[in-house]
Structure 1
Amino acid sequence: MKVLFLVTDDWYFLSHRVGLARALRDRGDEVVVVTAPGNRVPEIEAEGFRHLPLAFRRGKADQPLNMLVLRRLTRIYRAERPDLCHHVSFLPIFYGALAARRAGIEAVIHAVTGLGHAFVDGGAPRRVLRWAVERAYRAAFRRGNPIVLFQNGDDRAHFVSAGLTDPRSCRVILGSGVPIDRFRPVPEPSRSGAPPVMLHPSRMLWTKGVGDSIEASRLLFERDVDHKLVLAGRTHASNPRSIPDSTLDAWQRDGLCSWLGHTDDMPALFASSAIVTLPSVYREGVPMALLEAAASARPIVTTDVPGCREVVVDGVNGFLVPVHRPDLLADRLALLIADPDLRARMGRAGRERAERLFSQEHVVEQTLACYAELLEPAAPLPAGTDAPAQSKSLP
C-alpha cells in the first residue's frame, strides 16, 4: 500500500505524524510525504520516506498563486496514484480534497487538528474569516466519502451541528500520540535553592497564551513568589498572531522570562522543568506539548478550552483556568511552586493518563483501523445513524 501524507510544514510532520509513518514503513507500506520545502526535509528522507515539495501559499497577497498550488498537487496525485491520502490541517484538507477528486483517489483521511485562530472570538473580521473557513471545510468534506478525524469531541460536535460534515464520517482520536518511551518521568533537578522552573512550550503566538504566562510571572514577582519562567518555541512570521522578537527581548530584559527559541531536545527540557503552563486561547486539537508534559510526569496549568481539557483533569494532574485570567493562572502556579509533593503527585497522575489514553502506539492503532475501514469498507450505516465517537468528557 502507498500512503501519501499532505502536511504544510516538514517540522510539523516530524513532530506529529512521523510515528504513524514509521508504523506504515515497518509493516512494508510505501510512504510519500508532501510538505513545503524546509531545512528538516533531510530528516524525513533519512527515515526512508520519499519527500515531494509543495509550497503552500498563505495570505491575501498570495491568492493569485493558489491555482498553481492546486495544479501542482493534482499532478503529484496523478503521478503517485496513492492508495490512500492523509491530509493534515486546514490547507492540506482544502487543497487535498480538490486534488484527490481530480485525480480519482477515493480513500481519503482528513485530519482536523483544531479550529485555530479563526474560531477565537474577535468581532466582525473574525466572523467573516470563520464563515470562509467553514465554507471551505464543507466543500472539502462533500467530495467523495472521506473519514474526518477530530482530536477532541468539541470540534466534532461543532462541525456536525454546523452541518459541515456527515456525522457518519466522523471519528475522534485524541491527539497525535506521544512516544512515552522517549518522554519518561524523571525527578525534578536538584537546584540548591534555585526556584522551580515554569515552562511554556509553544510557538510564540499571542493565541497560545504567551502574554498571559508573562503577566502571571509579573504577578508572582509582585507577590514575592520566587520562580523562573522559560519560553520555548519559535516565532511564526507568517502568522498575524506571532509575537515580535522585540517584545520577547523586552520581556527578557525585564527579568520576566528566558526565551530559548526552538529546542530539539524536548525530553531534556521537560526534565529540567518543574511545572508546565500553556494558557492557550487557541482552538487546539490536543496540544502535543501537553501530551509530552504529561508523559514526562510534569504538572500542568492550562486553560479550560477544547483540546487542553482533554489532557488535564482539574485538580488531578494539573489545573484548568478560564481564558485570559492571568490572576487565576498565577494562583494555581503559586500553589505548585510552594508544594513539591503536590507537583510529584500530579505528575504521576499525568504519566498514568498519558500511558492510558495518549500513547503513540494507541493512536497509531486507532488510525490504522480507520485506514482499513476506508480500504476494506464494511456495509454502510443506515441513514441517520451516527458513527461511534469518543466522548469529550474523559475520566
Structure 2
Amino acid sequence: MKIVMIGTVASSFLGFRADLIKALLAKNYTVYAFTSEYTEEELSEIERLGAIPITYELNRGGINPFTDIKSTYGLSKKIKNISPDLVFSYFSKPVIFGTLAARLAKVPKVVGMLEGLGYTFTEQPSGISKKTQLVKAAQILLYKLALPQLDKIIFLNPDDPKDLLDKHDIRVKEVEVLGGIGLNLNDYSYTSTYPSQPTFIFVARLLAEKGIHDYIAAAKIVKDKYADAKFIVLGSIDKEALGALTEAELKQFTEANIVEYPGHVNDVPKWIANSSVFVLPSYYREGVPRSTQEAMAIGRAVITTDVPGCRETVIDGVNGFLVEKWKPQALAEKMIYFIEHPEQITIMGYESYKIAQDKFDADKVNKRLINMLGL
C-alpha cells in the first residue's frame, strides 16, 4: 500500500513525523514524503528514515491564484505518477492544494489535518488588521472549496472545528479530533529535582502572539515582590513579525535583570528540567503547543492561557493554571502562588507528567492517528 504525506518544510517530517513514518513502515506501507522547502541533507535524512522524499513547488506565504493553480496541477501530476492509495496532508496550504491535487489525480482516499488555525484566526488586542481580514477571507474561501473534497478532516483540539467549520458553514464528510501530535517520551526524562530559587521558563519564538510581552510584564510584577525569582526566555527573535520582541527590548530587559536570555540553545529539555514552572501566555491559534507537552513530559507545572489549544494541556488547579489572555497581572498572581506554595511545584509537576504519559505519548497518538487514517 502506498501513502503520500504532503507537508511543507522537510524539517517537519524529521522533527514531528518521524515516529509516524516509522509506525507506517512497520506495517509495510510505502511512504512518500512531499516537501516544498528542503535542503539536500534533509532529503537524505528522510531517506534514512525509510520514506521516499518527493519535492514539489508551493508558495507557502503569499496568495497568488495563478501560481497556486500551476502548483496544484504540478503536484497532481506527481501524485498521479505514484498512484497512492491514500494522500494525507497537513498544514493549511498543503491541506487546501494537496487535497485538490489528490482529487485531480483521482486518489481513492484523501485525509487532511489542520494543526491549529494559525495567524489569520488569531484575535489581536488591537483588533485584526484589514490586510489580515482579507487574507482570512481568501483562506476561508479556499477551505470551502477544498475541505468538502476530503474523506476526513482531523483537528488537534475541539475548538478549531467549531471556529472554522461551524462558524463558516463548511460542509465536510467526517471530522475527528486527535489531541496533540505527541512526543517520543524517551527524549524527555521526568525529573523531580528543582532549582533552589523559583525559576520560570518561556520557550517559543519571541512573538507577541506567543505571549512574550505578557511574560516579561508579569516577571516585572513578580520581581517587585520576590527579587530572587528567575525568568528564563528561550526562543528566536523574529525581525519580520509585527509586534515581535526586538533585540533592543530584549537587551534592555536582560540588562535590567528581569529575564535571562542564553541565546540559541540545543538542549531545550535540559533547560526545562532546570526550571520550576513552564509558562506560555500564548494567544496564537495553536493546535496543541508542543513546547508545553515537552515541559509536561519532563514533569513541570504549567501556567498558560485559557485559549484554544493551550487549554488542552492544563487541568486548572491540577497540573497548573489557566489564565485569561492579555492579563499579565493574572499571570503574575499564579507565578507568585508557586513561589509561596513551593510544594505545589512538585505536586502539579507530577500531575503534568501523568497527563503527558496518557495524552501525549507519540506511540499512543500515532496508533490513534493511523486508526483515523483507516489503515
**TM-score w.r.t. length of structure 1:** 0.85
Are the equivalent residues in 1 in contact too, given 2:292–2:302 (CA < 8 A)? yes
Give the aligned partner of residue 257 of structure 2. Answer: 255
Q: In 2 relative to 1, CA 80–241 (structure 1 residues): closer, same or farther, beyond 3 Å?
A: farther
Partner of residue 373, structure 2 = 371
Of 289-298 and 114-123, more deviation after overlay is shown by 114-123
Structure 2 CA distance for partners of 1:235 and 1:53, relative to 1, 3 Å: farther
Task: Give the aligned residue type for 1:285.
Answer: G
**1:241-252 equivalences in 2 (<5 Å):** 242-252=244-254
Distance 1:247 1:95, change over 3 A: farther
Give the aligned partner of residue 335 of structure 1: 337
Hey, what's the Cα distance between the residues in 2 that align with 1:238 and 1:67?
Answer: 28
Matched, 1:135 2:137: no
Quick one: which of 194, 214, 217 aligns to 2:216?
A: 214
> Residue type of the partner of 2:198?
P
How far apart are residue 151 of structure 1 and its match? Answer: 0.8
Q: How does 1:1-395 map to 2 (within 5 A)?
A: 1-35=1-35, 36-38=37-39, 40-60=42-62, 65-121=67-123, 122-123=127-128, 125=130, 126-143=132-149, 145-166=150-171, 168-191=173-196, 195-236=197-238, 239-240=241-242, 242-372=244-374
Deviation, 1:221, is 1.9
TM-aligned CA distance change 1:62 to 1:273, over 3 Å: farther
1:348-388 CA-to-partner distances (Å, cap 9, x unmatched) read: 1111111222221221111111222xx6xxxxxxxxxxxxx
Rate the CA distance shift 1:268–1:149 in 2: closer, same or farther, 3 A. same
Question: Residue 364 of structure 1: SS of its match in structure 2?
Answer: helix
* Counterpart residue identity of residue 151, structure 1: L
Q: Match of 2:68, as an amino acid?
A: N
Q: CA deviation at 1:280?
A: 0.5
Cα displacement (A) at 1:213: 0.9
The residue type equivalent to 1:135 in the other structure is L
**1:134-176 CA-partner distances (Å, limit 9, x unpaired):** 2211211122x42100111111222332255446510011010
Aligned pair in 2 of structure 1 residues 50, 201: CA closer, same or farther (>3 Å)? same
Farther off after superposition, 182-191 or 108-117 = 182-191
2:147 touches 2:172 (CA, 8 Å); kept in 1?
Answer: no
Looking at structure 2, the residues matched to 63 and 255 of structure 1 have their Cα atoms a distance apart, in angstroms, of 49
Change (3 A) 1:259 1:136: farther
1:60 deviation in Å? 4.2
Letter in 2 for 1:2: K
The structure-2 alpha-carbon separation of the partners of 1:189 and 1:13, relative to structure 1 and needing over 3 Å to count, comes to: same
Take 2:175 and 2:182, find their aligned partners in 1: how far apart are those partners? 19
CA distance in 1, matches of 2:361, 2:369: 13
| Greater displacement, 171-180 / 155-164 | 155-164
Percent identical pairs in the alignment equals 28
Range 331-340 or range 301-310, more displaced: 331-340
- What amino acid maps onto 2:38 in structure 1? P
Partner of 1:378: none
Q: Secondary structure at the match of 2:278?
A: strand
Match of 1:388 in 2: none
Q: Distance in 2 between matches of 1:75 and 1:158?
A: 33
Aligned 8 A contact 2:301 2:349 in 1: yes
Kindly indicate whether the alpha-carbon contact (under 8 Å) linking 2:195 and 2:276 is maintained by their aligned counterparts in 1: no
How far residue 243 of structure 1 moved from its aligned partner, in angstroms, is 4.0
Task: Tell me: CA distance 1:190–1:305, structure 2 relative to 1, closer, same or farther (3 Å).
Answer: closer
1:37 to 1:356, Cα distance in 2 relative to 1, 3 A: same
SS of residue paired to 2:373: helix
Gaps of 5+ in 2: none
Once structures 1 and 2 are overlaid, which stretch shifts more, 78-87 or 285-294?
78-87
Number of positions where the alignment pairs a residue of Structure 1 with one of Structure 2? 369
Q: Aligned-pair distance for 1:189?
A: 4.4
1:237 is displaced (CA, Å) by 5.6
